Structure 1
Amino acid sequence: MRALADHRDIVPPTDHDAGDHRSVAVVGAGITGLVAAYELRRRGVNVTLYEASGYAGGAIRTSHIDGFLAEHGPNSFVTSAPVEALLTQLDLQDDVVEANSQANRRYVLRDGTLQSFPMTPLAMLGTRLFSLKAKLRVLLEPLVRRRTTDADESIASFVRRRLGHEVLDYAVDPFISGIFAGDTEALSMMHAFPRVFDLERKHGSLSAGLMATRGRMPLAPAKASDGSEASDADLTPAAEPTRARLISFVDGMQTLTDALEASLSGTLRLGCPVRLLHRDEGRWVVESGQEGLSRTRTVDAVVMATPAHVLAAMELPAGLRKHAALVERVEYPPMSVLTLGFERADVSHALDGFGMLIPSKEKRSILGALFSSSLFPSRAPDGTVSITCFVGGARMPDRAREDTDLLVERVLIDLRQLLGVRGEPIFAKHVYWPRAIPQYTVGYQAVKDAADETELNNPGLYLAGNYRNGVSVGDCMASGQQIAGRVARYLTRAS
């Protein structure tokens, strides 16, 4: 870990900086905050980026140990036109590595056996993942009546109505675990997958909606926070169509956040938590720093690009806290990410795909796993393979909190039975996230309304992050770009 002392700005407790006109404080140097600060600086805005921890990038971190590459959080993401433009601006195109096109197979576990998930209608007809009854149920989806109400509904309820319980259990449930590490009975269809929800509302059925919108839907949704599947949230609209690419970088995902951090030289304050925030004569006063070493800065606008629960730990005016109370209580279940390395000869499975997902009905310890060394090159030394496993989430939160030795023992039971793993791992990297992915639960509109009300009643304050407009890396990058545009327009009006 990089030393705090190398990056932290130490200033006298009495130092007061009145700031400059068109000045913005961005709080939180995860991918959303980094992109927001980068875009604002590119527009000529005087930016200060605050990060409580000793490093930038949030969940995006990469470890290189003994020839193995282990991602702490996201493993990849899908590009869009604005993201491609950002990569070009950061001079990262030569560092980009696209996912192995031969590794596009997804495996799903049913009755203890891994089955290839059908990616085409023809494959759906021939798959053993679903029974004949389930296949017929899918074909009859256009005949299912549309709901008479537009009220919120859980993903489980929506899928059971339209596609039947078997598709819920062995298609949607495992993929939801890959995206949100969440519970289909609790998550909102309207807010987790708004475009799919709208297909029924606008067209009467999913089939009719897909046919009616063919050619107008985005080419590909963005990757989820754990890198295991796709999310549904829209990205920033592109001026021109672009080929969506599933990518990482030669040296891992931290290449992206390191490049953004380097571009923000002189603006980033690491190890510098924001403790107090209040409005004074039309501007915002930000108090930051460790106990006894605080700094006060007055700025025109503030972007809160932190996880929602960070607001609860800050000293905020009563009026602001009143509107933000629901935002502060967004649920983030814990998750452990365990990257294991094995001798290639000790794994009988071909690992010829993206990875495997585990339905909750199968009662396994892991939510799923990525075949990391199959997906991207140079993830493991020659003659070895790496597998990244995800444990916990809303399904098994207590399991995520277990110590490394016990977790490895549990995960190995699944890998031995499902992938034919023999012997012990030659590499292990365990990363525990106490709060991993925000849960867009039924009734989540109240959270979104609270975020809107917070901004409306506190001019110059903006809330951004994966609890608001999507949980994927692409969603967060788009959120940072969009919030920068909104802040720039506010500063223009204010001037």
Structure 2
Amino acid sequence: MNVDVAIIGGGVSGLATAWELDAKGYSTVVLERQVRTGGHAFSENISGFMMEHGPSTINAFDPLAQNVSTRLGILSDQAYLGDGVKQRYLVDNGMLKAIPIHPFGFMTANYMSLPGRLRMMMEPFVPRGKSGTEETIQDYITRRFGSEFCERIIDPLVGGLYAGRASELSMPSVFPKMLALEEKYGSVAKGMLSKFFKGGNMPSKRLFSWNGGIGTLSRALEAHVKNVQTGVTVRSIRKTKTGYQVDCGDRGPIQAKSVVIATQPHVASGLLSTVDVEGAEAAHSISTPPLAVVFLGYKREQVSHPLDGLGFLAAEMENIGLTGAQFSSTMFPGRAPSGCVSITAYVGGARHPELARLPEQDLLQLAQKRLGSLLGIQGEPLVARVRHWHLGLPQYQLGHSTIVQTLEDTSQRNPGLFLTGNYFKGPSVAACLGKAQNTSSSVAEFLKSSTDQQDYFSGKQACN
């Protein structure tokens, strides 16, 4: 097979890249090792309950996500957060503490101590940090807002978003917009207030999915991509005079002018090892600790908690074994049959990778015990399912920006070879779509440049 572009990996990143290139008129093939596409973005209906095996929401204020939804014809199928989302919850000494969802909720709630709230209010008076200095999230937030705010607010947030630790992740790589506020206004709080009073969008103000779950996006992308092959294991990539040869084992080789690697970093490292040692080492250095998703469905009367929020997050200091949970049936319609509720708990990540490796029954027992205590649950679930992700979310640790730059420069060291995925601009679906769009533009530019050069030399030879 001969194509313009071979895309290795059929998750959202790979499918979106292929879709954009197809639209530009290039021939592509997507090679996916699993029997289905979509990667982590997989939604499953289980006896009327809908389980999200990976991501569950998209930022509704992201213009690219809305544009993609429109172009794929799935805009009318969007589902927005339900009216039942009225609180946010954090675990406080083994109990759930409700925090109002308005911007000043942490100030009015009693979750933090009075000294902790007073220290948080002093943030506008904290001097700017040294420009160009990379800090961990813990160091940065502690310096600006105090240690209690970091330990009790930001640490749970980092655990929920990245399944990581604030003490290990890079502030500029994870929260660059917060740093930009400090740089522009001299204070994060001042910057956020300025945006609020100017009518700007506050973080996590509005989220959406689709009636059929996040998997709707994967299915729509696959339907719009011209050539998708599943069950294909790519063994290696090697350079040729005309581009690259992709070894697909018993499926035969593929000749491509350009190759896009859209896999998890450890897979990318293996594929790069034969063509770009520097890039292979960079990809190998990205940690992806295991994560387990535990999905439970109950009759409504079994759960005494009102479930009137997105869910809850837990600081590592609470030591409950869960990074948090989502009240799935409260978030979006159609996530549970009438008279029932569904809850999704998350275990493992950088905090407790060993817990994510537990057998299914042990994970169910852990989740049911913790959720039973926190939410007042009685009896056995109607539905219980576990998804093990042996390689979870990429950890944007100190030095991540240097790693990313090395990987971005792969196409400079190896013209026509590109990478995309959730370890570049963020693990969210919207970030993956954005990176895929940028990657497709870079590939198209390379192919056009290569064609222009061939036309030039062919014309010159003809004239001679």
TM-score by length of 1: 0.87
Give the counterpart of 1:264 among 213, 217, 225. 225
Residue of structure 2 in register with 1:81 after alignment:
63
The question of whether the paired residues in 2 share the 8 Å contact of 1:154 and 1:189 is answered with yes
Output the CA distance in 2 between the equivalents of 1:396 and 1:39.
38
- Please tell me whether residue 376 in structure 1 is matched to residue 295 in structure 2: no
- Write out aligned runs for 1:186-197 (5 A): 186-197=168-179
Structure 1, 412-421 or 446-455: larger mean CA deviation: 446-455
- Please tell me whether residue 421 in structure 1 is matched to residue 381 in structure 2: no
Residue of structure 2 in register with 1:328 after alignment:
284
Output the CA distance in 2 between the equivalents of 1:467 and 1:384.
37
Change (3 A) 1:92 1:35: same
- Write out aligned runs for 1:297-336 (5 A): 297-314=254-271, 316-317=273-274, 320-336=276-292
Query: Per-residue displacement from partner, 1:116-136 (whole Å, max 9, x unpaired)?
Result: 234335433321111111111
The question of whether the paired residues in 2 share the 8 Å contact of 1:63 and 1:71 is answered with yes
Output the CA distance in 1 between the equivalents of 2:103 and 2:19.
43
Residue of structure 2 in register with 1:13 after alignment:
none
Output the CA distance in 2 between the equivalents of 1:323 and 1:465.
14
Query: Per-residue displacement from partner, 1:187-226 (whole Å, max 9, x unpaired)?
Result: 00011111112333444321343356668997366xxxxx
The question of whether the paired residues in 1 share the 8 Å contact of 2:53 and 2:387 is answered with yes
Output the CA distance in 1 between the equivalents of 2:182 and 2:328.
36
The question of whether the paired residues in 2 share the 8 Å contact of 1:87 and 1:93 is answered with yes
Paired residue type of 2:271: M
- Please tell me whether residue 286 in structure 1 is matched to residue 246 in structure 2: yes
The question of whether the paired residues in 2 share the 8 Å contact of 1:78 and 1:220 is answered with no
Output the CA distance in 1 between the equivalents of 2:78 and 2:42.
16
Residue of structure 1 in register with 2:155 after alignment:
173
- Please tell me whether residue 411 in structure 1 is matched to residue 411 in structure 2: no
Structure 1, 185-194 or 304-313: larger mean CA deviation: 304-313
Structure 1, 471-480 or 70-79: larger mean CA deviation: 70-79
Q: The residue matched to 1:102 in structure 2 has which SS?
A: coil
The question of whether the paired residues in 1 share the 8 Å contact of 2:290 and 2:390 is answered with yes
* Cα offset, 1:186, TM superposition: 0.4
- Write out aligned runs for 1:355-370 (5 A): 355-370=311-326
Give the counterpart of 2:216 among 247, 250, 255. 255
- Please tell me whether residue 38 in structure 1 is matched to residue 23 in structure 2: no
Give the counterpart of 2:407 among 448, 451, 457. 451
Query: Per-residue displacement from partner, 1:56-98 (whole Å, max 9, x unpaired)?
Result: 0000112212221111111121242222222222221232211
Residue of structure 1 in register with 2:458 after alignment:
none
Q: Which runs of 5+ in 2 are unaligned?
A: 452-464
Equivalent pairs counted in the alignment come to 450
Residue of structure 2 in register with 1:240 after alignment:
none
Q: The residue matched to 2:345 in structure 1 has which SS?
A: strand
Q: The residue matched to 1:381 in structure 2 has which SS?
A: coil
Residue of structure 2 in register with 1:107 after alignment:
89
Q: Give the share of equivalent positions with the same residue, in percent.
A: 34
Paired residue type of 2:68: L
* Cα offset, 1:39, TM superposition: 0.7
Q: The residue matched to 2:268 in structure 1 has which SS?
A: helix
Residue of structure 1 in register with 2:5 after alignment:
24
Output the CA distance in 2 between the equivalents of 1:104 and 1:450.
44
Residue of structure 2 in register with 1:494 after alignment:
450
Q: The residue matched to 2:263 in structure 1 has which SS?
A: coil
Change (3 A) 1:123 1:317: closer
Paired residue type of 1:268: V
The question of whether the paired residues in 2 share the 8 Å contact of 1:324 and 1:450 is answered with no
Change (3 A) 1:300 1:220: farther
Residue of structure 2 in register with 1:152 after alignment:
134
Query: Per-residue displacement from partner, 1:354-401 (whole Å, max 9, x unpaired)?
Result: 101111111102110100111111211222111000011111111111
Change (3 A) 1:157 1:311: same
* Cα offset, 1:149, TM superposition: 4.5
The question of whether the paired residues in 1 share the 8 Å contact of 2:163 and 2:323 is answered with yes
Q: The residue matched to 2:247 in structure 1 has which SS?
A: strand
- Please tell me whether residue 276 in structure 1 is matched to residue 236 in structure 2: yes
Output the CA distance in 2 between the equivalents of 1:315 and 1:130.
48
The question of whether the paired residues in 1 share the 8 Å contact of 2:164 and 2:349 is answered with yes
